[in-house]
Homo-oligomer: A and B are copies of this chain.
Amino acid sequence: MNEIRGGICAPKGFKASGIHCGIRKNKSKKDLALIVSENVCRSASVYTTNLVKGAPILVTKENLENGMAQAIICNSGNANTCNANGIEIAKEMCLLVEKHTAISKNDIIVASTGVIGQTLNIAPIKQGMKELVRALGDNSSDANEAIMTTDTIAKEVAISFEIDGVECRIGGIAKGSGMIHPNMATMLVFLTTDVAISPELLKKALSEDVKSSFNMVSVDGDTSTNDMLSILANGKAENKEIIKDGADLKVFAEALNYVTVKLCKMIAKDGEGATKLVECEVLGAHDTETARIVAKSVITSSLLKAAMFGADANWGRVLCAIGYSTANVDVEKIDVDFKSKAGRICVCKNGAGVTFSEEIAKTILLCDEITIIINLNSGNETATAWGCDLTYDYVKINGDYRT
């Protein structure tokens, strides 16, 4: 598995573009992205579990019913959600892509992100389409920039790997920041791959993957109305099509997980206002579900997140978050360690505090990537969740987002 350049344009046969069309007032911020494949792709998506769903999600769901798609259009600046004419606008976006690219409007994935409840003006999109299509090329980072909202860093990754001797690629871009919470692809993630795979197995691989990747990320516990994860697979790598369980599918799943976990960490680390990535690794669980519940509960705790911001080794908050997680654990068996590149320290053994150097703990927690290791000492299952600290800037960013 090698990391390569190119993001979503690294796999063969994909082009992308991102422009400022005018949905946002700030002209220096791109707000419209397009991703297209040379040919029709196998496609799968995972959607927000929020009962309030953005109109683009409803339209995408319909378009993906046959498991096929060829392009993705996405705007930032307005979520096109909770509007009277949201569906109409989302469909018009698909129609505009058809008009300018000859890709069928039914093969389009459409997405929007931004403020909820304000009508999305189609005019700037209509006006920008020509430029958007003309700009198509090896421009993964432009597309990435165009889907960003309060993100501060680009989230792009691509890898190459071999399936039965044939070189294949997966690329991805993501938009995260606020509203990122375990329980489905609560963010925008677009993946491209040139792997040849059946629609059924692509769907299965994606659904399996999110359980240990995007469902294990939380920034603030809120689940967005609009977020989704979509993958396009165009088969251009010309590997023997994966049509059944087995070694090839396993390789693909591993490659996919490499990309998604990488994006998860980027998303968590760039959580709104975050100054550090907080990883929670749960070991020794009786079953995977228990490990996941515990890991999620810890990284979601506001108290723990604030303590991480302050580099405060307040392990009591870790135990507290385990305690209310609803997981069935034996508290008196729990060990807790804090770890970072500065070292590792045990702070709790058998559910009770141990004497430790506050100074060393502080040094460890001052790093920008921290791992909380929880050993439940009750089995062999594990899980990892990713989150971030809770900071003044989170409050600042969200205290007045719209104005």
Contacts and interface: CB of A to CB of B under 8 A. Distances in A.
Interface of A: 49-53, 79, 81-84, 115-119, 178-179, 181, 183, 220-225, 300-303, 306-307, 309-310, 312, 314-317, 319-325, 327, 329, 331, 348, 351-353, 358, 390-392, 394-403
Given A116-B316, A398-B303, A52 B322 contact: yes
Contacts of A301: 221-222
Contacts of A319: 52, 82, 116-117, 225
Contacts of A315: 117
Most B CB within 10 A of own CB, among A116, A300, A301, A391: A116
Contacts of A50: 320, 323-324
Nearest to A83: B352
A93 B71 CA distance: 69
Number of identical monomers bound together in the oligomeric complex: 2
A53 B403 CA distance: 44
- Residue among A315, A398, A402 facing the most chain B CB atoms (10 A cut-off): A398
17 contacts: A50-B324, A79-B316, A82-B352, A117-B319, A178-B303, A179-B303, A220-B302, A221-B221, A222-B320, A223-B320, A223-B323, A309-B399, A310-B399, A312-B400, A312-B402, A312-B403, A390-B398
A178 B82 CA distance: 33
B222 A303 contact: yes
Minimum-distance CB pairs A-B, first 10: A116-B316, A310-B399, A52-B323, A306-B398, A117-B353, A310-B400, A50-B323, A223-B324, A51-B323, A220-B302
Contact of A116 (B225, B302, B320, B358): B320
Contacts of A400: 307, 310, 312
